Chain A
Amino acid sequence: AQRVTQPEKLLSVFKGAPVELKCNYSYSGSPELFWYVQYSRQRLQLLLRHISRESIKGFTADLNKGETSFHLKKPFAQEEDSAMYYCALPDQAGTALIFGKGTTLSVSS
C-alpha cells in the first residue's frame, strides 16, 4: 500500500544552516510526489512537486527511487521558513493525495 513516512516531528536549525526534511515513501509504480507547507496562520499550500523539478523559495527536492526518498533541502535556512511541512503522494487509485504526518521546521537566529 502507498505510504509516506516523515521520520522527524520537529527539526530545529539556526538561521543560515542547511536544512533537510526527510520523506520516504512506498509506492508501486512511478510516484508523483509533493511537498506542501503550512505557515503560521496561513492555509496549507503547495511548495513544490517532483514533476516540475522546480526550486521554490530556495527549496529543492530530488526523487531517489533507489532509496524511495523525496527529501526537501535548502542550503541556507531563513527564519521565514519556519512552518509545518508535509510530504504527499497519490493513493492507490490515483484519485486523492496521502499525506505524511508532517515535520515542523523551526529556524531561529
Chain B
Amino acid sequence: DGGITQSPKYLFRKEGQNVTLSCEQNLNHDAMYWYRQDPGQGLRLIYYSQIVNDFQKGDIAEGYSVSREKKESFPLTVTSAQKNPTAFYLCASSMGGGQTNEKLFFGSGTQLSVL
C-alpha cells in the first residue's frame, strides 16, 4: 500500500513541546496538503504546497508550520502555540499544476493527542 505515507500513526505531545508529523509520497505529485479532521468539524485545511520550496496557509494555519524542501516530503510541525492540537491529521497529494479538478490521494492519518 504505497502512494502516500504518514508517520507515526499515533503521537503524543507534552505541554510546550513541538512535534513533527511526517508525510511522504512516491506518486511524483507536485501538490501536497495538510488537513485537520475533528469530529463534527469535517476536514479543515492547514497548509498546502503547489510546488517545492513554496507553500500557503490554509484556513487554520495558526500554531502550525511546514516545509517543502523535497517534492516527496511535506512535514507538518505542531508548535506549542497550537493550544488545541488533539486531532486526526490527514496529508494528501495531487498532481497539482494549480488545478483543483485533480483527484486527492490521502494518507492513513496521524492521531495526535496531548499528554
When distances are taken between beta carbons in the complex, the residues of chain A under 8 Å from B59 are 98
> What range describes how many residues of A lie at the interface?
20 to 34
Q: Is the interface of A mostly helix, strand, loop or mixed?
A: loop
User: Which one of A6, A9, A94, A100 contacts B100 once the chains associate, using CB atoms below 8 Å?
Assistant: A94
Given the interface pairs A95-B48, A96-B100, the reply to whether A101 lies near B58 with Cβ below 8 Å is no
Interface string of A83-106 (1 = CB under 8 A from B): 000100011001111111110000
| Segment from A43-51, A56-64, A68-76 that makes contact with B | A43-51
Interface size on B, residues (CB 8 A): 26
Contact yes or no, A43 B42, CB < 8 A? no
When distances are taken between beta carbons in the complex, the residues of chain B under 8 Å from A43 are 106-109
Contact yes or no, A32 B108, CB < 8 A? no
Chain A nearest CB from B105 CB (Å) reads 8
When distances are taken between beta carbons in the complex, the residues of chain B under 8 Å from A96 are 33, 45, 48, 56, 58, 100
Chain A nearest CB from B80 CB (Å) reads 26
For the complex, give the distance between the alpha carbons of A86 and B42 in Å. Answer: 8
For the complex, give the distance between the alpha carbons of A94 and B50 in Å. Answer: 11
For the complex, give the distance between the alpha carbons of A94 and B101 in Å. Answer: 9
Contact yes or no, A101 B40, CB < 8 A? yes
